[in-house]
Structure 1
């Protein structure tokens, strides 16, 4: 029991104090991390005489079922083959049982929000209202979401309590042909070229093919298969509708399912006897998380250049936030702008804003976790909130506090009242930055080249 407790504490330590509590998870899971709010975290009171009056927000959908069955298909077919050949260890047999049950839970639900994810979103909305009572006065609230069902449902859940309070709330849905504001990663040919470029592919292969990846993969399969089957897996096994599956491919597939289990509540895990901890030691878990999450760092993180296309494509969204905020300040007739999208939306925006912990570049792909942690930046339900404050006195500056996942964060801007920044300073800094990058205000990805 003592060793189990130590193991769980040590994993949390390795995960650099992830926002998800030990009660909900005991592993690093990158962008699959379930959202959790720390009720004991510090909330800095507004300066004397100031009160919140408007919020500009961008959020990710809540925890979801696995989006595609690829990982469970690979795991199931390899385990089935081993089972028929009587090549499973006792742990292997239990893994096979769990994979079958995982597939049953996911069936007909791929990509949908789980009940756990729905509750997280409802709680984020509830806290937004409770923590900012002076913001919501019954004025207009503009809500837009990307076209995906999980983003739409996230928006509906988030604003359901607003609707009960304000029956006339103004809700809009981003038109299908105008998704560039929130799904910019789907509409830039330049970004698409970068995402599939040789430099990105080679970096992913470098970490996937690293000796440590192979070593750890061998360690994991020894817990699952008999030696004869491992030899076959090392050489590659043909499975239905898949190319040859080797040891590393199998282990990564099982590990990705391990990550995906975080979308379910502790009660669901308990009721279904889900427990993949025995298959991954502390070192194995930490390394495989690094391998699996490397794509996030390269494709939607700072990668090799924090001002390159994978970040610049968020420029139209940043321009939109700057402009909607200016309009809200000038007209004083809207309580909030709420946007709902994806990790691919949140991460580039956070890096473009240079929020602490989002824009540093690692010296090597093997070291990226030291400077960029997906579990802190883009967990399920991730959100960026700009909360605006005005003084009861005339001729006082509008102030802004920025939250990443409901935590006060530093911006690369001077402030004498941190975490409160002058809106004029924020607007000037980001306008200058965007102009310097050649991203003049045109609501189109044509400027993000």
Structure 2
């Protein structure tokens, strides 16, 4: 989808004014983790002869969502109000203020929730999961569902399960409730909390920001909205916070098409990206994505702290698969969580390209793209297949696409022997001081 950035006139508060004109076309690659989910295209992968799917472990991010905090609680909102009261907004600043006020109306009472787009994403995934794995849902299968404490994961689970039960009404869905140890592990590790604040990633981020001249861009953006005297009072940090807020608005509105229309606005009236140049959008997106790569992804170490913390979830995936093989009636384990869950798990599993560390941090985005790995409704599934001889194969899917596991040899195509997979992951857990029988909470509290 392309965004046409062009001048348009708006009548506001009795004053006619025109926005800054950018005669260029920008793509939507700047959305990063706010990229809308796209179903895979192409023919389905051929299942080895004699095998059929019998068990699924699914870990998914919540669907497209609203802001997690209201626009009026943002630094940008407060700064715009302050500047307006001092008559320090430029014509483009007045335009931005109007847009933020409109977004506030759209978001009122909806923050932290998934959007209509998010519900549609999850229902689509559920429908395709069922269609590709109908033998799993034959008879009266038991389906277990776990979520996190955040309402958007509950809403995502509801949307997904509602669609699944429409297709498999006989399924016995059991709500296991919140399991933050396996799904919000990043909040339960003191070492990771400290890393997130002051980890070794900060050196890489400073380098990237210098390479991309972020301070100059922040000042350039702020100067578009505030008059010179007011701008002089803003520190470098102020300019950064302001720009990040407005960039965040530019990325979130793509998830809110239905809600924007319902509130009586057009997409153009909330097109925050029209206030940036393409270069600015791409540069801000690069830094935003670097932050995800260094804190949630492989960074420079595929078994570093941001990845180790996913061990309780990996252990759970192995244990529940073992339980199925030992006679458990649960045919599908469905987990609904966050980007901070999916990305570390993909790396710990060794999924390509999610688990590729960068030797040259400047070019990290040549092989790691947030839009491909952790878009909205991102998901990981491992699907167990069985043949009439009692042999088991497993296929790994990232966003519904088969992927290779780095360091593990497939049996055929994109299918792996379960025995080899289980051994591989038990060894990986041991490498990071974990096991399938560990106390997950204690592990997270003690890991360094």
Assess same fold via TM > 0.5: yes
Q: 1:274 to 1:320 in 2, by over 3 A?
A: same
| Counterparts of 2:87 and 2:24, CA distance in 1 | 37
Which residue of structure 2 aligns with residue 124 of structure 1?
Answer: 125
Range moving further from structure 2, 201-210 or 54-63: 201-210
Q: 1:210 to 1:85 in 2, by over 3 A?
A: farther
Which residue of structure 1 aligns with residue 270 of structure 2?
Answer: 274
Please state whether the residue corresponding to 2:56 is helix, strand or coil.
strand
Please state whether the residue corresponding to 1:174 is helix, strand or coil.
strand
Which residue of structure 1 aligns with residue 245 of structure 2?
Answer: 253
| Counterparts of 1:140 and 1:328, CA distance in 2 | 11
Q: Normalising to structure 1: TM-score of the pair?
A: 0.85
| Counterparts of 2:394 and 2:417, CA distance in 1 | 6
| Counterparts of 1:304 and 1:445, CA distance in 2 | 26
Q: CA RMSD in A?
A: 2.8
Please state whether the residue corresponding to 1:57 is helix, strand or coil.
strand
Find out whether 1:380 has 2:376 as its counterpart: yes
| Counterparts of 1:345 and 1:169, CA distance in 2 | 26
Please state whether the residue corresponding to 1:48 is helix, strand or coil.
coil
Range moving further from structure 2, 250-259 or 366-375: 366-375
Q: 1:374 to 1:3 in 2, by over 3 A?
A: closer
Find out whether 1:336 has 2:355 as its counterpart: no
Q: CA deviation at 1:346?
A: 0.8
Cα deviation digits, residues 366-396 of structure 1 (max 9, x gap): 43323322221111111101112222x325x
Q: CA deviation at 1:260?
A: 1.6
1:88-103 paired onto structure 2 within 5 Å: 88-103=89-104
Pick aligned residue for 1:414 from 404, 409, 415: 409
Range moving further from structure 2, 359-368 or 151-160: 359-368
Which residue of structure 1 aligns with residue 82 of structure 2?
Answer: 81
Q: 1:294 to 1:70 in 2, by over 3 A?
A: farther
Check the 8 A contact 1:252/1:292 in 2, yes or no: no
Pick aligned residue for 2:152 from 120, 133, 150: 150
Please state whether the residue corresponding to 1:381 is helix, strand or coil.
coil
Gap regions ≥5 residues in structure 1: 13-25, 237-244
Check the 8 A contact 1:88/1:224 in 2, yes or no: yes
Range moving further from structure 2, 162-171 or 371-380: 162-171
| Counterparts of 1:146 and 1:8, CA distance in 2 | 44
Check the 8 A contact 1:72/1:257 in 2, yes or no: no
Gap regions ≥5 residues in structure 2: 6-21
Which residue of structure 2 aligns with residue 264 of structure 1?
Answer: 256
Range moving further from structure 2, 178-187 or 66-75: 66-75
Cα deviation digits, residues 373-425 of structure 1 (max 9, x gap): 2221111111101112222x325x31111111111111122124221222122
| Counterparts of 2:39 and 2:227, CA distance in 1 | 43
Please state whether the residue corresponding to 2:160 is helix, strand or coil.
helix
Which residue of structure 1 aligns with residue 428 of structure 2?
Answer: 433
Find out whether 1:423 has 2:425 as its counterpart: no
Find out whether 1:356 has 2:348 as its counterpart: no
Check the 8 A contact 2:141/2:331 in 1, yes or no: yes
Q: 1:202 to 1:320 in 2, by over 3 A?
A: same
Cα deviation digits, residues 176-225 of structure 1 (max 9, x gap): xx521211112122222322335244444554566610222233234333
Q: Normalising to structure 2: TM-score of the pair?
A: 0.85
| Counterparts of 1:72 and 1:253, CA distance in 2 | 11
| Counterparts of 1:366 and 1:318, CA distance in 2 | 30
1:48-59 paired onto structure 2 within 5 Å: 48-59=49-60
